Chains A and B, each alone.
Chain A
Amino acid sequence: MALPQAKQTATEERLATLSLPDAGCTRKAREAAIARVREMGLPGRRDEYWKYTRPDTLVSVEAPHAALFDGEEPDIFHDFDRLQIVFIDGVFSPEQSDDLTLEGVSIDRLEDICCKDIHWAKDLYGVLETRGQVPVQRPLAALNTAFASDGVAIRVTGKPSKPINLVYRHASEDSDAILHHIVRVESDAEVTILENGPAASRFNKCMEIDIADNGTLHHIRAQGRDHQRRAATHMFTRLGKESVYKSFTLTVNGVLTRNEQVVELTGDDAVAHVAGACVGDGDFHHDDTVFVTHDAVNCESRQVFKKVLRNGATGVFQGKILVKEGAQKTDGYQISQSLLLDDDSQFLAKPELEIYADDVACSHGSTSGAIDETALFYLRSRGVPVADATDMLTLAFLAEAVDEIENEALSEVIVERLQGWLSRRR
């Protein structure tokens, strides 16, 4: 079907400003991705999948200006022993990064992969993104595959002793970064990947994760505090037999964030948990879009998303569990909740189920409302000042999502950040 004229024009205008990097072995994948973008067109405000989030500033030719946040606080994960890979405005910084050698894992810059013709990378780059285009189109991810200017390829073969930390620093107020990472977790391997930082004025990030049988990947992300930054991120994850994927995202501020998670359970007995906690104040729009496909027997998936909103902030959740024919014994769970701290904020949700197998237990729930007056009264009657009581209840509300993080030390730093946000907003 031909694209509407306006959409086609917008797409071509955007494409005209981008140039294909010297891509080596990823060239074919990139060219195919450009064709996909042309076929789908970049998202527009009338697209059903963008019903609650306006994509204009994510697809515009120029990245909107975004002031830098001058907070003095160190990186959220600075207390942890980790291997840092630093990107400044989307460009790898060898000076600020650690040495990339670590036992049990091989890390290459995407650029180097391109000329080395490494098989696993060639077989992964753009592949999961392409699979993730059906049944819902994700043109921004295809755009990313085509034009990603940097990124890393991580192959995990053992159990590295420390987490790999992708740090995204924001330095220029008009930066427009496109990063693409690929991760392959081999059989029985296990890794933790941390991500943090505001990245750029506008950030388009795509991560393709392929987890082989019995592999495990933990992912914890804290999206940066810069108030005016914008981000569209995609994570495409494919899980093999008995593999585990657990992802948690903390979002504090940022004028526009759209996080898409596309999870495909293709091996029996696999487990996928995706969770998110976001706290938004004022000019803040946060969108979690999750699509979980069950295509194997006896898999488990969980989606837990909590949003605290105030001062006109907007929270969006679009979640879907698709259980394909034959994916029996599926256990699918999905919860999305918002706590609206005042009357101006809004929560928009579309929690979907699509089920083609009869022996499954799938449930979803979604609620929205203010702080529970009874609980507040209880705490106050015990002598807790109202501000403290509100904070306590807000943290308790977010706890279900934060609890999805297995590592206690990591979940503690997340809670600290949330407490910080609350105390700044007394």
Chain B
Amino acid sequence: MAALDQTQVKEGVDQETVDAVREVSTYKYGWETDIEMEYAPKGVNPDIVKLISEKNEEPEWMTEWRLAAFERWTQMEEPKWAMVNYPEIDFQDQYYYARPKSMEEKPKSLDEVDPKLLATYEKLGIPLKEQMILAGVEGAENMPAEGRKVAVDAVFDSVSVGTTFQDELKKAGVIFCSISEAIKEHPELVKKYLGSVVPVSDNFYATLNSAVFSDGSFVYVPPGVRCPMELSTYFRINAENTGQFERTLIIADKGSYVSYLEGCTAPQRDTAQLHAAVVEIIIEEDAEVKYSTVQNWFPGDENGKGGIYNFVTKRADCRGDRSKVMWTQVETGSAVTWKYPSCILRGDDSQGEFYSIAIANNYQQADTGTKMVHLGKNTKSRIVSKGISAGKAQNTYRGLVSMHPKAKDSRNYTQCDSLLIGDKCGAHTVPYIEVRNNSSRVEHEATTSKVDDDQLFYCRQRGMDEEEAVALVVNGFCKDVLQALPMEFAMEAQQLVAISLEGSVG
């Protein structure tokens, strides 16, 4: 991180923060697995769409669905409104399907999976073994070993390699499998929910994804079930010139609960690679979903070469009353990030939360944020976003809070802070606020001074100066957010906790 070493850090930004940013900027997952791959021909056209569908052994309705999406996509234009600049993407110069040769015959159990693939995940710290805790996670051994289990679905380029703990989950009634499997095994659920939150023609990248998605995860939690373990999907891009298009569908039926984790990495390469995912979450009455992401795609080198272009559409639909969703994201990777995990608060008393830490260094560009669409009465949302830019990076928070006329007595609180390390980077805030009734309260703020007055007063009364008090209160709050992350991710995110808000700008 030569760029950062030479950066003159202004007074007030503490060294710990700089070190933490430097630390996360060292990409540890840039190696490549040497494995024989099988590709679909380059480019995208109806034949490729059909081929992907065929490879996944999909029923006809699914193929039709994909083809309709492709047709739609050809009429759409790439969005240009985000504050990101990247060379024109040649969508025909990509592979849309790549799978390890050894996956031709779908392994029946984890024991049959190619050892090379297992080794890959082992090296990433995600061993595909049914064990009590995830080994390889720094510090995990110090955690209380009270039987935390995590079921993992591992996706390697275009295919799911395997899913752990499936049997145990089945006993609880939870379905956790790859989406290709779900299309075959549970077509009624997929048919009912796929595309119901993110419609086929939602946006350019989501439409492309609808046409060519190759795999991803599927979760169904039946009514009243608290999922007995955390579910996790680990996405790995390995093949060169290959785009990854995964699709995740999570359905939390009435009164259920599930916590879902997502991790992603890719090898270090000179050419940029495309990643366009869609995540749909349906939350029924009284159900709750917690979705956590540590996005760590290859960010490009210090000269801005290579890296993943990450165009992701994530949306949760709180359909039932009193439903709840919580997005937590730690965004450190990708050359270009275009990602807005959103909440549609349709049910009365439903709640949406969005916590985000986005770190951009070198030539990274991140345009990320959330949408909170309040439709139901007495709905609540909270947005906490921290953007940190270093080197020559650009970091943008873009968000929408919309209170519809019928969303009486709703509430939103938004706080976004940015920190610049060095004078060659940029931090931007683009919030949209739309209030269409007067019983709702919306507050947007981007200052460090407006923390809870009582807490501030308490600290000041104990002799701290204003800045110290603010830092303490805000940092305490931030730690809460990180601790809300499931343990496995909290470890990875822990090094970010040191980041202070001193010297931050709105």
Residues of A participating in the B interface, judged by any CB pair closer than 8 Å: 48, 325-326, 328, 338, 340-370
Contacts and interface: CB of A to CB of B under 8 A. Distances in A.
Nearest to A317: B433
A135 B449 CA distance: 31
B426 A354 contact: yes
A357 to B, nearest CB: 6
A341 B437 CA distance: 10
Contact of B506 (A338, A350, A359, A362): A362
Given A353-B506, A364-B429, A343 B450 contact: no
23 contacts: A325-B423, A343-B405, A343-B408, A343-B438, A346-B434, A348-B433, A348-B435, A349-B434, A350-B430, A350-B431, A351-B429, A352-B429, A354-B426, A355-B428, A356-B426, A360-B505, A361-B505, A365-B445, A366-B433, A366-B445, A367-B442, A370-B438, A370-B439
Contact of A364 (B405, B437, B441, B446): B446
Contact of A355 (B427, B435, B443): B427
B163 interface: no
B433 A369 contact: no
Contacts of A343: 405, 408, 437-439
A356 B396 CA distance: 12
A48 B505 CA distance: 26
Interface residues of B, number: 38
Contacts of B28: none
A353 B440 contact: no
B429 A325 contact: no
Contacts of A338: 435
Contacts of B431: 349-352, 366
A351 B64 CA distance: 43
Interface in B118-133: none
Given A346-B434, A364-B445, A365-B450, 6 more contacts: A325-B424, A338-B435, A349-B434, A349-B444, A368-B441, A369-B442
Interface string B489-506: 000000000000001011
A357 B421 CA distance: 9
A136 B444 CA distance: 24
B447 A340 contact: no
Nearest to A318: B432
Nearest to A356: B426
A365 B446 contact: yes
B344 interface: no
Contacts of B408: 343
Contact of B444 (A328, A340, A344, A365): A365
Contacts of B447: 363-365
B433 A368 contact: yes
B251 interface: no
B425 interface: yes
Given A326-B423, A359-B10, A360-B505, A350 B432 contact: yes
A357 B435 contact: no
Q: Which A-B residue pairs are the 6 nearest by beta carbons?
A: A340-B438, A363-B447, A358-B420, A363-B506, A369-B441, A368-B435
Contacts of B81: 48
B322 to A, nearest CB: 24
Contacts of A352: 428-431
Contacts of B405: 343-344
B446 to A, nearest CB: 5
Give the interface centre of B438, B441, B447 by most chain A CB atoms within 10 Å: B438
B116 interface: no
B422 interface: yes
Contacts of B444: 349, 351, 364-367
Nearest to B411: A369
Interface of B: 10, 81, 405, 408, 418, 420-447, 449-450, 503, 505-506
Given A48-B81, A352-B430, A367 B423 contact: no
Contacts of A359: 10, 423, 503
Nearest to A348: B434
Nearest to B394: A356
Given A340-B435, A355-B428, A363 B446 contact: yes
A358 B443 contact: no
Nearest to B403: A368
A48 B418 CA distance: 25
Contacts of B441: 367-370
Nearest to B412: A368
A357 B405 CA distance: 40
A368 B445 contact: no
Contacts of A340: 435, 437-438
B9 to A, nearest CB: 8
Nearest to A367: B443
A342 to B, nearest CB: 6
Contacts of B435: 338, 340, 346-348, 368
Nearest to B427: A355
A341 B506 CA distance: 29
Contacts of B420: 355, 357-358
A156 to B, nearest CB: 35
A332 to B, nearest CB: 8
Given A348-B434, A360-B505, A367-B443, A353 B428 contact: yes
A350 B433 contact: yes
A236 B362 CA distance: 36
Give the interface centre of A358, A360, A363, A365 by most chain B CB atoms within 10 Å: A358
Nearest to A347: B435
Nearest to B430: A352
A100 to B, nearest CB: 45
Contacts of B440: 368-369
Given A340-B435, A363-B506, A366-B431, A353 B446 contact: yes
A301 to B, nearest CB: 13
